[in-house]
Each structure stands twice: as C-alpha cells, then as structure tokens.
Amino acid sequence: MRIMDGKALATKMQADLAQKTAQLKAEHGVRPGLLVILVGEDSASQVYVRNKERSALAAGFKSQVVRLPETVTEAELLRKIAAYNQDPAWHGILVQLPLPKHINEEKVLLAISPEKDVDGFHPTNMGKLWSGHPVMIPSTPAGIMELLKAYEVELVGKRALVIGRSNIVGKPMAQLLMDAHATVTIGHSRTQDLKALARQADILVVAIGQAKFVTRDFVKEGAVVIDVGMNRDDNGKLCGDVDFESVSEVASLITPVPGGVGPMTITMLMEQTYQAALRSIR
Ligand code: GUN
C-alpha cells in the first residue's frame, strides 16, 4: 500500500502557482483576486474560509473575506454579489456553504457570474462540465483528478464507484472519471448491497459523510481508495469516510485524512482563480 500524499502535491502546486502569479503580474499587471463571502458563524465554514484566504495570500493573490451576519437578508446578499460581479478586481467569487435557512441557496449560486464562479456550482458551469466542455470545475473532484494523475493511476476502462451524489463532489466526480474513460457507477446511502458493488471497483471515491463508513470488506484487493470525508470519530479525532487502518491493508493506494483530498481542494480553488484571471486578459 502507498499513501497518496495530497499535502505534498498541494505544496508543490502552490509553489508553482505563486510563480505563475508573479509572472502574470509582471507581464500583464494583473493580480488574481479571490473574494469569499461567509454568512453567519458556522465553525467549520470559518476554518475553511480562513484556509482559503491564507492560501490565496500565499499565492500572491488579492484576497478578501466578506463576513455577513446570520441575519443578513437574501436581497442584501444578492445585491452584494451583483456589485462584486461588476468589480474587475475579483476574478473569483464564492459564497461559502451552507447558508442560513432563510436564504435560498440556488438563487445565490445563480447570482454569481459564471465567469467568476470558481466553485463551479453555477448551473451554466455544471452544464458545461456535463456536456464535456468544462471551464470551472468543483475543486474537490478537480483535486482528486490531479492526485490520480500524479500517482499515475490507470483509469481507461477501469471500474470506478463514486459513493455520494452531491452537486459539489459526487456528480462532478463521476463526470470527470467518465471523461477519463473510466466506467462509472454512482452509489449512495439508498443503494442496495453497496458493499458488493464497491468490491467490484478498481477506483473507489468515498464522499458519503459518515465516519469510517467504508471498511475493509468494501474494498477489492489492490483498489485505489480516495477518501473525501472529514469527520470526528468517537474520540474526537479527525477521520474520513474510510476506515483507514483496515482498508490500507487491502488498497494499493489510499488518501489519508487529514493530508489527502483536503489540501488539494484548496489548491484547485486557487488554480481556478488564477485561470479565471488569465482568461480575463484574453
Ligand atoms: N462548503 C463545503 N464545501 C464547499 C465548497 O467547496 N465551496 C463552498 N462555497 N462551500 C462549501
């Protein structure tokens, strides 16, 4: 078994990105700008947003986090997004999810200009991805594809099972694997005999949001296992959706939590912001 070191790959990609960013500034006078909107006090979101800002600044981007109170109205949020859409300083705009219940998430995601939607959540960008012409790709699946590439995982003709069907991870992940010529199945919490299905997979991507859900008996000998989960176990320790200890005995490659998919997600968000800045000068 080999560990897929997302932290190491992310560190290398971030260094490359800082260099590309400096070059973009020197040659075109353009500094990539990432604007993050955070509504409310969700503690996980605060950590994610802080990490995004830190990463953006390390890459040499302009970066701002707009913190709005839990009580902000939907109309006010939409007005702010409309203003940032018009501001050429921002190449990437993202609204951290989840949003408070009184705000319609779909409306908010629709309001972000597709050219600045670095999360790739706007229906236009989702549609482009599904029709095989991706522009903005959700960061987590994009980061997983980079990891698979870096570790030279053969995908052509292989069986891939994605466990989880969210718009953020499961659906775009399936599409990217299909584009890479894998034979893809999406499983989820209602799938019958998920274990038997999983045991057929050469590549297993797990994003079901349940601590240590995938155990050794889900995994074929030699499979590649990607763990998107971020949970706390009974002892309060950070863990994924995969039971790393038992699964690492059968997998050929596996991502750890932390240090696997997570660092790649942030890195890809920065990469997409850089790409959006690059497109803005063309
Ligand atoms: N909340 C959890 N993951 C994400 C993400 O990738 N983007 C945004 N905007 N919110 C999230």
Instruction: Find the length of the chain.
Output: 282
pLDDT tens, position by position, 101-152: 999 999 999 999 999 999 999 999 999 999 999 999 999 999 999 999 999 9
Work out the average pLDDT over 236-242.
96
pLDDT tens, position by position, 165-216: 999 999 999 999 999 999 999 999 999 999 999 999 999 999 999 999 999 9
Q: Which residues contact 246 (CB under 8 A, 6 or more apart)?
A: 215, 216
On whether 280 is known to bind a ligand per the annotation, the reply is no
Contacts 24+ apart (CB under 8 A), 105-113: 107/74, 107/78, 108/74, 108/77, 108/78, 108/81, 111/78, 111/81, 111/82, 111/85, 112/81, 112/85, 113/85
pLDDT tens, position by position, 63-86: 999 999 999 999 999 999 999 999
> Residue 160: which pLDDT band, with cuts at 50, 70 and 90?
very high
Q: Is residue 247 part of a domain?
A: yes
C-alpha 161, offset from chain centre: 18
Question: HEC profile for 83-129?
Answer: HHHHCCCCCEEEECCCCCCCCCHHHHHHHCCHHHCCCCCCHHHHHHH
Work out the average pLDDT over 23-39.
98
Q: Is residue 70 part of a domain?
A: yes
107, 59: one domain: yes
CB 60 within 8 A of CB 18: yes
Q: What is the pTM of this model?
A: 0.97
Q: Is residue 1 part of a domain?
A: no
C-alpha 33, offset from chain centre: 19
Is residue 119 lining ligand 1, measured as CB closer than 6 Å? Answer: yes
On whether 222 is known to bind a ligand per the annotation, the reply is no
Q: Is residue 274 part of a domain?
A: no
Per-residue tokens: 191: 């799938």
Percent of the chain with pLDDT over 70: 100
* Spacing, Cα 265 to ligand 1 middle (Å): 10
Please identify, among 114, 147, 173, the residue that sits at the C-terminal boundary of a domain.
114
According to the model, what pLDDT value does residue 90 have? 98
- 119 assigned to active site: yes
Q: How far apart are CA 105 and CA 109, in angstroms?
A: 6
| Number of independent structural domains in the chain | 2
159, 256: one domain: yes
248, 174: one domain: yes
On whether 262 is known to bind a ligand per the annotation, the reply is no
Q: Is residue 277 part of a domain?
A: no
34, 69: one domain: yes
Full residue range of the structural domain in which residue 147 is found: 139-262
> Residue 155: which pLDDT band, with cuts at 50, 70 and 90?
very high
> Residue 22: which pLDDT band, with cuts at 50, 70 and 90?
very high
109, 157: one domain: no
The domain that holds 242 is classified in CATH as 3.40.50.720
User: What is the tally of helices (H) and strands (E) in the chain?
Assistant: 10, 11
197, 230: one domain: yes
89, 42: one domain: yes
According to the model, what pLDDT value does residue 203 have? 99
In ligand 1, which atom is closest to the CA atom of 265?
A: 6
According to the model, what pLDDT value does residue 96 have? 98
145, 252: one domain: yes
- What average pLDDT does the chain have? 97
> Residue 282: which pLDDT band, with cuts at 50, 70 and 90?
confident
In ligand 1, which atom is closest to the CA atom of 97?
A: 10
